Amino acid sequence: MKVLLVYSGNSKTGISPIIKSQGESLRDAGVDVDYFPIVGKGLNGYLKNVLPLIRCIKKNTYNIVHAHYSLSALVATLAGCKPLVVSLMGSDIRLGFFSKYAVKVSSRLFWADLIVKSQNMMDKIGIEKCKIIPNGVNISLFKSGDRTAAIETLGWNGRKRHILFSADPSRPEKNVQLIEKAFSLLDSAERIELHTLGNIPHQDIQKYINASDVVVLTSLWEGSPNVVKEAMACDRPIVSTDVGDVRWVIGGTHGCFITFYDPDDVTAKLRMALDFSTTHGRTQGRDRIIELGLDSETIVKRIIGIYESVLKRKVL
């Protein structure tokens, strides 16, 4: 099976860790994968990629074209990619009325199948006939490690406790102001430091997670935030707002807490998570990830299953 992954190529790394991880997982499963990055900002920038994509699919024979995000799906649709599987990601839940209407029409008329990342996304987009498949986590990379060694590697102060804001603070939807306000309410005598993730290579994020007492996510919206699953796979305590599928992912895992958009509540949950880190050290988050089948290997089998179903319907 030969698959073309269509995605936004506008990030600083050229390809997002999620797309790269999915492509690598597909290749590990025996799928022949090519990549088509869409380079350009805004609608006009995306539309300039239609002709290059047409040339790409005419030059090569693909069994499946898999587009990620709604604008990439638009380009692939206009380029006549068939059969076309579309994955809508976290930011797609904020589609405007026209975009939602376009997605509904396209999913019925042009797309062979549609994947969303959580039940929350399905409800907000308003399309019932789609598959819910979260992004998988590489449990070979993200696993519990020696915390002291991780702290030394990063050059953090080993005599202090550490809170990790697990996102790039420059992204407004990540809501860094909430964690900053909550952090300011902690007793300064507790010797706690706040760290953020920004421009960190994906393969290094596990070091930051393992060095932290608590991993925090205060996002305003998400689809299925991978960093929560990665922290779970590393058995770290978590404090997160109730976004995407976070509540379902953490379930009843002790040491992991859902918080309101209230600094006082975030502070209270941080204290609870810090206490858990001190008294228990590790959660059983990794067991939960495996139980839910959220490891990359299991997730990619589900994606290949969709590809095979699409090809079977095409033959019939």
- Would you say residue 257 lies in a domain? yes
- The mean per-residue pLDDT over the stretch 143-156 comes to 95
142 is a domain residue = no
Mark whether 117 and 169 lie in a shared domain: no
Per-residue pLDDT at 63:
97
Strand bridging mode 2-8 / 32-38: parallel
Q: Does 98 fall in a domain? A: yes
Q: What are phi and psi of 259, to 5 degrees?
A: -120, 155
The answer to whether residues 104 and 183 belong to one domain is: no
Q: What is the pLDDT of residue 167?
A: 92
pLDDT of residue 127: 83
Residue 211, burial from CB neighbour count under 10 angstroms (0-12, 13-18, 19+): buried
Q: How confident is the model at residue 135 (pLDDT cuts 50, 70, 90)?
A: very high
182 shares a domain with 88 = no
Q: Read off the pLDDT of residues 226-281 as tens digits, 9 standing for 90 and up.
A: 999 999 999 999 999 999 999 999 999 999 999 999 999 999 999 999 999 999 99
> In the chain, what percentage of residues exceed pLDDT 90?
76
Q: Give the residue numbers spanning the domain of 212.
A: 147-292
Does residue 132 share a domain with residue 156? no
Domain shared by 89 and 156, yes or no? no
Together in a domain, 80 and 121 = yes
Question: 301 and 288: one domain?
Answer: no
249 and 307 belong to one structural domain: no
**Which CATH number goes with the domain that contains 309?**
3.40.50.2000
CA 308, 309, 310, 314 torsion-angle sign: positive
Does residue 161 share a domain with residue 88?
no
Output the six-digit token pair for 20.
């790269």
Instruction: Please tell me the distance from the alpha carbon of residue 177 to that of residue 173, in angstroms, as a whole number.
Output: 10
The pLDDT tens digits of the residues spanning 2-47 come to 999 999 887 766 688 889 999 999 999 999 999 999 988 877 888 8
> Are 126 and 86 members of one domain?
yes
Residue 167 covered by a domain: yes
**Distance between CA 29 and CA 5 in Å, rounded?**
15
- Compute the distance between CA of residue 22 and CA of residue 68 in angstroms, rounded to an integer: 11
Contact of 209 with 215, CB cutoff 8 Å: yes
Residues 6+ apart with CB under 8 A from 173: 91, 219, 220, 221
Q: Mark whether 216 and 251 lie in a shared domain.
A: yes
Summarised one tens digit per residue, pLDDT across range 35-84 is 999 988 877 888 899 999 999 999 999 999 999 988 899 999 999 999 99
How many structural domains comprise the chain?
A: 2
For residue 141, being part of any structural domain is answered with: no
Same domain, yes or no: 271 and 171: yes
Q: What is the pTM of this model?
A: 0.90
Look at residue 12 in the predicted model and tell me its pLDDT: 67
